[in-house]
Homo-oligomer: A and B are copies of this chain.
Amino acid sequence: MATLNRPGVDDGHICGIDTAMEVIGGKWKVLILWALHEQPHRRFGELRRLVPGITEKVLASHLREMEADGVVDRVSYEEVPPRVEYALTKDGIRLNDALEPLAAWGRERKEDRRNTP
Looking at chain A's contact residues, is the secondary structure mostly helix, strand, loop, or mixed? helix
Q: Beta-carbon contacts of A24-46 to B below 8 Å, as 1s and 0s?
A: 00011011001100100000000
**Which residues of A in the span 64-86 have a Cβ within 8 Å of any Cβ on B?**
none
Q: Beta-carbon contacts of A83-98 to B below 8 Å, as 1s and 0s?
A: 0000000010011011
Chain B contacts for A2, CB-based, 8 A = 28, 31, 51-54
Chain B contacts for A101, CB-based, 8 A = 97-101
Chain B contacts for A95, CB-based, 8 A = 105
The 3 closest A-B pairs by CB, nearest first: A19-B106, A16-B106, A16-B107
Interface pairs (24), CB distance under 8 Å:
A1-B31, A2-B31, A2-B51, A2-B52, A2-B54, A4-B51, A5-B52, A15-B31, A15-B34, A15-B106, A16-B102, A16-B103, A17-B34, A17-B99, A17-B103, A18-B31, A19-B106, A19-B109, A20-B103, A94-B105, A98-B102, A98-B104, A99-B101, A101-B101
